[in-house]
C-alpha cells in the first residue's frame, strides 16, 4: 500500500454505525450548513421514482437529476446534458462513440468537471457506468475536493474530498471504497464487499442523505454497504470542490484511473435502493432520459 495514497493518509478513522438497506434516502434534505442554489432541490416530487418505461416516461430520479455527462462527440469538451457548464478531458480525447478511455497509471489522463457542482447540494447521488481496466490500488473513479494548498488543479495531499476508488489494496482485502473528509476532522469511509470487476461494464453509485447523515455505496444496483456517522458531521458544503475529477486523485502519489467511462450523473438527493436498481437496469444513456416526459 502507498503510504501517501488515498485514505491511508488519514490519521484516524471515526467509528460508524451500520444501517439497514432501507436507508437510501427518501427525498428529504437537511443540513444546517448547506448552501448554494441547489440546496433543497432534492425534495421528492410526484413521478420522480419508479422503473423506466417506454413511451417517454421518466427514468428513476429524473426530477432530481442536475448534471449528466454522456461523453458524446469528439475532442475534449464534456457537455452537461442538463444544461450546466461543460467539463473537459485532460490528456486524452473523446472516442466519438459516447465514451472516453483513460490510460491509467501515471498517464495524466482524467476528466475535469466544473467547480462547485457537489458542494452546492445538501443530499446527492453520484452515479457512473465504466469498464475498469484493473491496475494498482487507490485509483479514483471520482474525487471531488482539493489538496492541502487549496489551489485549483493542484495535486498534492488531499484536504477536503469525497472519493470513490475501485480497489484499496492489492491483496485479498481489495475492496471498493468511498471516503469523505472535511477540514479539522478525520476521514470517514466505508467499503463495499468486493473490488470492481475488470473488463465488464459496471454501474457504481454513492449516495449521501443529509437528513440522516448516511453514506452508502452501490454496485450494479445493489446496496453494498451503508453507514450513519457517529461523530463527524458530513456536509457536502464543507468540500472545497475546486478539483472535481473523474479518474484523478487529490493525492499525487495515487495512480490515475484506467477505464472507459460511458456516463456520469449527479442527482440532488439520495436515490433509494429501488431507484438505483431501476437505473442500473436501464443502463447508460437510456431512452427515458432522451425523450421528455409528457
Across 201-225, average pLDDT: 97
In the structure, how many helices (H) and strands (E) does the chain have?
2, 18
Across 254-277, average pLDDT: 97
What global pTM score does this model have? 0.81
Give the N- to C-terminal CA distance of the chain in Å, as an integer.
Answer: 52
Please give the C-alpha separations between residue 138 and each of 7, 149, 249, 250, in angstroms, as whole numbers. Answer: 8, 21, 8, 11
Across 4-11, average pLDDT: 36
CA atoms within 13 Å, Cβ hemisphere of 25: 35
How confident is the model at residue 131, as a pLDDT?
A: 98
> In this structure, what DSSP letter does residue 63 have?
G
CA-CA distance, 225 to 218, in Å (whole number)?
Answer: 7
Taking only the tens place, the pLDDT of each residue in 246-258 is: 999 999 999 999 9
How confident is the model at residue 173, as a pLDDT?
A: 67
Which residue has cell 444496483? 221
CA-CA distance, 102 to 92, in Å (whole number)?
Answer: 7
Strands of 93-176, DSSP E: 94-95, 100-105, 110-113, 124-132, 142-147, 158-165
Q: Which three cell numbers stand for residue 148?
A: 492541502
Mind listing the domains of the chain with CATH numbers?
64-151+199-223+235-294 (2.60.120.200)
Taking only the tens place, the pLDDT of each residue in 94-149 is: 999 999 999 999 999 999 999 999 999 999 999 999 999 999 999 999 999 999 99
Taking only the tens place, the pLDDT of each residue in 149-204 is: 999 999 999 999 999 999 998 766 689 999 999 998 899 999 999 989 999 999 99
Taking only the tens place, the pLDDT of each residue in 22-47 is: 333 323 323 323 323 333 333 333 33
CA-CA distance, 90 to 247, in Å (whole number)?
Answer: 10
How confident is the model at residue 94, as a pLDDT?
A: 98
pLDDT band at 229 (very low <50, low <70, confident <90, very high): confident
Burial of 175 from C-beta contacts in 10 A (0-12 / 13-18 / 19+): buried
- Cβ neighbours of residue 8 under 8 Å, at least 6 residues apart? 1, 2, 138
How confident is the model at residue 41, as a pLDDT?
A: 33
pLDDT band at 6 (very low <50, low <70, confident <90, very high): very low
CA atoms within 13 Å, Cβ hemisphere of 267: 33
The CB density around residue 90, as the number of other CB atoms within 10 Å, is 17
Please determine, for residue 233, whether its predicted confidence score (pLDDT) is greater than 70: yes
How confident is the model at residue 3, as a pLDDT?
A: 34
Amino acid at each position: 500500500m502507498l503510504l501517501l495514497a488515498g485514505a491511508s493518509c488519514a490519521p484516524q478513522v471515526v467509528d460508524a454505525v451500520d444501517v439497514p438497506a432501507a436507508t437510501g434516502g427518501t427525498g428529504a434534505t437537511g443540513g444546517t450548513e448547506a448552501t448554494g442554489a441547489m440546496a433543497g432541490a432534492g425534495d421528492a416530487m410526484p413521478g420522480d421514482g419508479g422503473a423506466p418505461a417506454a413511451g417517454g416516461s421518466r427514468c428513476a430520479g429524473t426530477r432530481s437529476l442536475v448534471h449528466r455527462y454522456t461523453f458524446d462527440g469528439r475532442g475534449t469538451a464534456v457537455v452537461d446534458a442538463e444544461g450546466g457548464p461543460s467539463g473537459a478531458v485532460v490528456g486524452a480525447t473523446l472516442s466519438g462513440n459516447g465514451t472516453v478511455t483513460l490510460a491509467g497509471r501515471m498517464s495524466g489522463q482524467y476528466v475535469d468537471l466544473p467547480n462547485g457542482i457537489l458542494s452546492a447540494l445538501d443530499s446527492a447521488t453520484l452515479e457512473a457506468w465504466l469498464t475498469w481496466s484493473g491496475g494498482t490500488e487507490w485509483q479514483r473513479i471520482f474525487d471531488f475536493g482539493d489538496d492541502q494548498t487549496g489551489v485549483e488543479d493542484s495535486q498534492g495531499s488531499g484536504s477536503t474530498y469525497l472519493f470513490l476508488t475501485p480497489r484499496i489494496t492489492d491483496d485479498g482485502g481489495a475492496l471498493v471504497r468511498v471516503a469523505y473528509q472535511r477540514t479539522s476532522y478525520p476521514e470517514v469511509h466505508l467499503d463495499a464487499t468486493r473490488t470492481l470487476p475488470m473488463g465488464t461494464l459496471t454501474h457504481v453509485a454513492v449516495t449521501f442523505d443529509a437528513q440522516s447523515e448516511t453514506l452508502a455505496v452501490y454496485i450494479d444496483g445493489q446496496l453494498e454497504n451503508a453507514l450513519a456517522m457517529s461523530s463527524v458531521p458530513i456536509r457536502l458544503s464543507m468540500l472545497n470542490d475546486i478539483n472535481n475529477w473523474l479518474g484523478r486523485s487529490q493525492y499525487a502519489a495515487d495512480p490515475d484511473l484506467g477505464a472507459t467511462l460511458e456516463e456520469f450523473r449527479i442527482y440532488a438527493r439520495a436515490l433509494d435502493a429501488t431507484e438505483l436498481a431501476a437505473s442500473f437496469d436501464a443502463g447508460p444513456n437510456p431512452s427515458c432520459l432522451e425523450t421528455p416526459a409528457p
